[in-house]
Amino acid sequence: MMMVPVLLASLAALPELGFAHGGLSNYTVGDTWYRGYDPDTPAEAQLGQPWMIQRQWRTIDPIFSVDDPFIACNDPGTAPPSYIPIEAGGNITAVYYWWLHPVGPMTAWLAACGDDCTTVDVNQVEWFKIWEGGLLEGNLAEGLWYQKEFQRWDGSPALWPVTIPSALRPGLYMIRHEILSIHIEKKPQFYPECAHLNITGSGKAYPMKEYLLKFPGAYDKHDPSIEIDIYTEEAMETFNYTIPGGPVWTGA
Ligand SMILES: *[C@@H]1O[C@H](CO)[C@@H](O)[C@H](O)[C@H]1NC(C)=O
Ligand SMILES: *[C@@H]1O[C@H](CO)[C@@H](O)[C@H](O)[C@H]1NC(C)=O
Ligand SMILES: *[C@@H]1O[C@H](CO)[C@@H](O)[C@H](O)[C@H]1NC(C)=O
Ligand SMILES: *[C@@H]1O[C@H](CO)[C@@H](O)[C@H](O)[C@H]1NC(C)=O
Ligand SMILES: [Cu+2]
């Protein structure tokens, strides 16, 4: 009887190695680092802390369904009290550690909160895409994806810089970073994390309706870019990949 728990324990440890998932740990703006939520640190030490700027994500595991309400801002997505200050036109860099998946698109989104990001419903706000990176060269199966170029194997943080459109009207916004990994056939993995931004500036622009999407709602599970098998002969001969979620709004 002693063997059973030992065996279970060692089996339970294996997926950590075989399926190393991940998430967005910190943000930087200029030289300032903003610590994000850490699933490996007790929630009590982080939730509601005055320094917290990121919505809570309970685990490094992915979300598998485009219809999952947590596809907006992960599970449970509990709001932080604080905001990262940033000027429109400035860059925010998302920091990941040990990001290991190489295939699939990465997208960054904003949603206006109105007076207060802590009370918005992340499934009801309207998101617009401000950045995307997908297949950089080659075919779907063996080509170079931004996701692969971004990852680091030496333990240094993987950095993902995104520019806030300079024309955007100032206000309180959520930023949503999503990595979509498609290395398992027809089993897409979504890794979304959200943070709160206080965007300053003198811009007046705001995207028109065709850019505004909800999560869930932005994606169709039968989208050929989402319900995809890259291990086919056809994929070996496909050199384009349409990133889901519509066009990028640059404010221009
Ligand atoms: C970055 O995130 C990690 C993991 O949550 C945390 O341990 C670390 O303190 C953060 N670094 C900074 C500089 O905020
Ligand atoms: C933001 O990043 C872009 C691209 O790397 C760079 O050209 C620009 O100078 C940066 N802007 C600021 C304000 O740092
Ligand atoms: C947002 O930034 C402006 C300008 O610095 C500041 O007056 C305002 O209090 C900030 N709002 C929040 C909610 O942090
Ligand atoms: C590649 O382009 C073709 C023609 O526009 C399109 O039908 C197909 O869905 C694209 N493939 C991917 C994976 O985006
Ligand atoms: Cu994973």
What's the CATH code of the domain at 220? 2.70.50.70
| 5 occurs within a structural domain | no
**DSSP annotation string for 89-156:** T-EEEEEESS----SS-EEEEEEEEET-GGG--TTTSPEEEEEEE-EEES-TTTSEEHHHHH--SSSS
User: Model's pTM, two decimal places?
Assistant: 0.93
Residue 15 lies in a domain: no
Ligand 4 atom nearest residue 240's Cα: 1
CA–centroid distance, 97 to ligand 1, in Å, is 10
Ligand nearest to the CA of 198: 3
Atom of ligand 1 nearest to the CA of 34: 14
CB of 38 shorter than 6 A to ligand 1? yes
Which is nearest to 94 in space by CA: 25, 6, 192, 183? 25
14 in a domain, yes or no?
no
CA of 35 to the centre of ligand 1 (A): 5
Q: Does residue 79 lie within any of the structural domains? A: yes
- The residue count of the chain comes to 252
164 C-beta neighbours (distance < 10 Å), count: 26
The pair of three-digit structure tokens given for residue 82, joined into one six-digit string: 């604080």
Q: Residue 107: inside a domain, yes or no?
A: yes
Of the residues 198, 199, 202, which should be mutated to test ligand 3's pocket, given the most ligand atoms within 8 Å of the CB? 198
**What pLDDT shows up at residue 20?**
73
- Residue of minimum CA distance from atom 10 in ligand 3: 198
Task: Give the residue, by CA position, lying nearest to ligand 4 atom 1.
Answer: 240
What's the total number of domains in the chain?
A: 1
Ligand number nearest CA of 166 is: 2
- What share of the chain has pLDDT > 70, as a percent? 92
Indicate whether 140 belongs to any domain. Answer: yes
- 87 in a structural domain: yes
Query: Does residue 46 belong to any structural domain of this protein?
Result: yes
pLDDT of residue 12: 36
The parts of the chain modelled with pLDDT lower than 50 are: 1-18
Largest CA distance in the chain: 69
Cα–Cα distance, 60 to 206 (Å, whole number): 33
pLDDT at 19: 55
Containing domain of residue 40, as a range?
A: 21-236
pLDDT number for residue 5: 36
